[in-house]
Amino acid sequence: MNPTNPEPAATNGNGRTLTKAVGRKFHADGTVRYFPGNTVICAIAPSNGVYERLIALAERFRALRCAACYTLLPPSSYHMTVIQGVCDEDRKPELWTRLLPLDAPLEESDRVFREKWRSVRAPDGFRMSFDSLTTDGVALTVNLLPLTDSDARALRAFRDDIAEKFALRFPDHDDYRFHISLGYRIVELAGREEEELLQFKRQLESELAASFGVFASGPPRLVFFKDMFAFEDSR
């Protein structure tokens, strides 16, 4: 590709510019795409007090006109990633375990990680507070912060332990931003849609800062996924 004459951005049938989520985690029509991998998460169960707040937030977002540009995730998939694993499509040294060659089958990483997980002492959970909403990226996320220094140390120690055991350390390991994803943008927004989303962000950040409370997670789990709609204990 000539850098002085870049290829035009991909568009859908309506001439709307597609985001980088398309062709990776989603199709151009917003349907979920096969994108297998593994990861360590704290799932958000319906019994958790934060679960209903997230559903209410998603429903309010769904009422916006710009929501048509997104695919929202099912509540059953809600989780906070504690530390990333590997994805089948991401075959780069900095994104793959050093325990296996870059061309190893994904199933082999599943097997190795399960074996390593047996020696992991998973904490009972972590306490997180609301930080902000991310609305200007591909993912619509609720960003979180450790509630106390003790929670921050526990998260750091656990992530360091998994990174060592899995021989996997992402470039953002030391400054990873904890979050809960609610959906993904499929097409880029137009002017009025951007304004609507910014107003939503300002209003909801103010409300959530006062009402979100504490997300007290359950124990982190090693899980496996075929797409962004489900995270299971086995593939």
Q: What is the pLDDT of residues 71-90, one digit of tens each?
A: 999 999 999 999 999 999 99
What CATH homologous superfamily does 37-228 map to? Cyclic phosphodiesterase (3.90.1140.10)
Alpha helices in the chain (DSSP H): 49-62, 106-117, 149-166, 191-211
Mean pLDDT of the residues in the chain: 95
Confidence label for 7 from pLDDT (cuts 50, 70 and 90): low
Question: What pLDDT shows up at residue 153?
Answer: 97
Whether the predicted pLDDT of 5 surpasses 60: no
Contact 12, 18 (CB under 8 A): yes
* Count of beta carbons in the 10 Å neighbourhood of residue 35: 17
143, β-bridge pairs:
132, 179
Candidate from 15-19, 149-153, 215-219 with smallest mean pLDDT: 15-19
Burial of 216 (0-12, 13-18, 19+ CB in 10 A): middle
CA distance 166 to 177: 20
Contact 166, 97 (CB under 8 A): yes
Question: What pLDDT shows up at residue 6?
Answer: 53
Q: 141-173: string of b/e by CB count within 10 Å (b at 16+)? A: bbebebeeeebeebbeebbeebeebbebbeeee
Question: What pLDDT shows up at residue 138?
Answer: 96
Q: What is the mean pLDDT of residues 18-37?
A: 97
Whether the predicted pLDDT of 1 surpasses 50: no
Burial of 119 (0-12, 13-18, 19+ CB in 10 A): exposed
CA distance 50 to 146: 15
* Domain assignments of the chain as residue spans, ordered by start: 37-228
Whether the predicted pLDDT of 3 surpasses 70: no
Whether the predicted pLDDT of 106 surpasses 50: yes
Whether the predicted pLDDT of 18 surpasses 50: yes
Contact 229, 73 (CB under 8 A): yes
Contact 60, 182 (CB under 8 A): no
Q: What is the mean pLDDT of residues 29-41?
A: 98
Give the whole-number percent of the chain exceeding pLDDT 90.
Answer: 91
- Selected residue with higher pLDDT from 8 and 234: 234
Whether the predicted pLDDT of 9 surpasses 90: no
SS3 140: strand
Q: What is the mean pLDDT of residues 191-198?
A: 95
Contact 32, 227 (CB under 8 A): yes
- Selected residue with higher pLDDT from 6 and 142: 142
Question: What pLDDT shows up at residue 14?
Answer: 72
Confidence label for 234 from pLDDT (cuts 50, 70 and 90): confident
Burial of 9 (0-12, 13-18, 19+ CB in 10 A): exposed
Identify which of 176, 101, 103 has the alpha carbon closest to the alpha carbon of residue 141.
176
User: Which amino acid makes up residue 186?
Assistant: I
Whether the predicted pLDDT of 16 surpasses 90: no
Residues 38-72: tens digit of each pLDDT: 999 999 999 999 999 999 999 999 999 999 999 99
